[in-house]
Structure 1
Amino acid sequence: MRWILPEFQRGNYSICEARSTKPRLVFFDRQHDAESNQTRKDIRSLRIDAEDSAMISKPSEPELLLPDILRKDLDVVFCGINPALSAARAGHHFSSGSNRFWRVLHLAGFTPNQILPADDRTILQYGCGLTAAVERPTVGANELTRREFRASADGLERKLRRYRPRFLAFLGKPAFAAIFQQRTVEWGPQSMRFGGAEVWVLPNPSGLNRAFSLEALVSSYRELRTALQRQSQ
């Protein structure tokens, strides 16, 4: 039951509520109540704006990138397909114990000893560098798209022109095939240059590549080593 009292209707105060036969007046200030409502709206708006801003400025998870290991005038830059997620988290190239890269590199004659992943930057001492066709780390290379490979081509070429290695060795066929739009790819030396470097395609040393034994990998990498030595004479 509601009571409207004439003497209060024209002022800032208006009251009227009764739950029994005796009216109980509850006074409130219309102006103060309106200001309070607006304040609550402003606070709510600020809270929403702050939350939206935080969502925009804060990524869902930190972006992981594995830095290249490069310097100018190297003999060869080995170009992986893309970093493994585990390698990006570790901060070192070919950090998985199942990857045969460091062992093959040593057995093929590129390094006098087998480099540990934690010491990956020492590869520069032997005229070798490391990069990847696509920067984005993934659990498996099959998560990448051909569009990502093609989009990375210009950046890779600029990198090569800046650092001027003699050879670029793709580790595996997928990146080379996508970048150069080749349906069939042969192992070993290729007919074109890329960013001024001679191009080779070597088998991927990943432990998942069961098509190549350790001996077959070493033989393929040794061919590149021999070509480097022959060119240096």
Structure 2
Amino acid sequence: MTDVDSLQCLPSLPDLLEPGLSVIFCGINPGMRAASTGHHFEGRNNRFWRVLHLAGFTPEQIRPQDDHTVIQYGCGLTTVVPRATARAAELSRSEIELAGDAFRRKIGHYAPRYVAFLGKMAFSAITGARNIEWGRQAEPFGGAHAWVLPNPSGLNRAFDLDALVTAYREARVAIASTP
């Protein structure tokens, strides 16, 4: 079996969604470990679960194996592109753009109050927006308020833990204050 064949055999990472959530966190695509285990943000160096807890979205730090429990806190998880890669940079801009319409429909269907993009790359590719600022975006996405957060991946060295927690806490406060 070639490397390409083995990539195509990876199971897709299931969405953790239900209608009317407060926020859906959206990664650009699953990492290899997450796709192989079937659990979101499974990578050893991914700080998502720690940041989510420290920012106040969850009362305790969820383990990746218990990712499905995030729903009980009004949060959902999905990705723009279903194909797993070791790094998001392995995705082509056109692959992200093609996934954008289906993703916009998914957000419209589930109708969360907010969709939080984890990183600027996917949001830019899907919307065509340039010079994106962190935080709440002026235009809604799929009927939801759009927010852009720093990617919690350990590969993102531009944001230390404190900076991530501050950014995610700002989103949590805004989400809690939006009817």
Q: TM-score under structure 1 normalisation?
A: 0.73
- Equivalent of 1:209, from 134, 153, 156? 156
Which of residues 127, 131, 137 in structure 1 aligns to 2:74? 127
Q: Deviations over 1:4-59 (max 9, x none)?
A: xxxxxxxxxxxxxxxxxxxxxxxxxxxxxxxxxxxxxxxxxxxxxxxxxxxxxxx9
Compute the displacement of 1:184 (Å): 1.1
Aligned to 1:106: 53
CA distance in 2, matches of 1:138, 1:163: 26
**Residue type matched to 1:77 in 2?**
I
1:162 correspondence with 2:162: no
**Of the candidates 4, 10, 18, which is equivalent to residue 71 of structure 1?**
18
Kindly provide the amino acid, as one letter, of the partner of residue 44 in structure 2. G
**Alpha-carbon distance, 1:227 to partner:** 0.5
Q: Within 5 A, what are the aligned runs for 1:7-156?
A: 60-61=5-6, 62-156=9-103
Which of 216, 219, 229 is matched with 2:166 structurally?
Answer: 219
Percent of paired sites with the same residue: 57
SS of alignment partner, residue 137 of structure 2: strand
Match of 1:179 among 121, 126, 133: 126
State how far apart, in whole Å, the 1-side matches of 2:28 and 2:158 are: 17
SS in 1 for 2:45: coil
**Alignment partners' CA distance in 2, 1:104 and 1:155:** 28
TM-fit CA distance, 1:218: 0.3
Displacement after TM superposition at 1:190 (Å): 0.3
Moved over 4 A (4+): none
Alpha-carbon deviation of 1:230?
Answer: 1.3
State which of 181, 189, 199 in structure 1 corresponds to 2:136.
189
- One-letter code of the match for 1:145? S
RMSD of aligned residue pairs (Cα, Å): 1.1
Return the letter of the residue paired with 2:124: A
- Does structure 1 conserve the Cα–Cα contact (< 8 Å) formed by 2:25 and 2:116? yes
- Give structure 1 stretches of 5+ with no counterpart: 1-58
The superposition leaves residues 79-137 of structure 1 with CA deviations (integer Å, 9 ceiling, x where unpaired) of: 00100011100110000121000000000000000000000000000000000111110
**Secondary structure in structure 2 of the residue aligned to 1:191:** coil
Q: Residue 131 of structure 1: SS of its match in structure 2? A: strand
Greater relative CO (CA pairs within 8 A, separation 6+): 2
What one-letter code is carried by the residue in structure 2 that aligns with 1:96?
A: G
Separation in 2 of the partners of 1:203 and 1:231?
21
Q: 2:176 and 2:79 mapped to 1: Cα distance?
A: 24
Letter in 2 for 1:114: Q
AA in 2 matched with 1:193: P
Structure 1 letter corresponding to 2:31 = A
Q: Secondary structure at the match of 2:177?
A: helix
> Is the 2:10–2:36 contact (alpha carbons within 8 Å) kept by the matching residues of 1?
no
The one-letter amino acid of 2:14's match is P
Q: Rg bigger for which structure?
A: 1
Matching residue's letter, 1:79: C
Counterpart-to-counterpart distance in 2, 1:120 and 1:131: 12
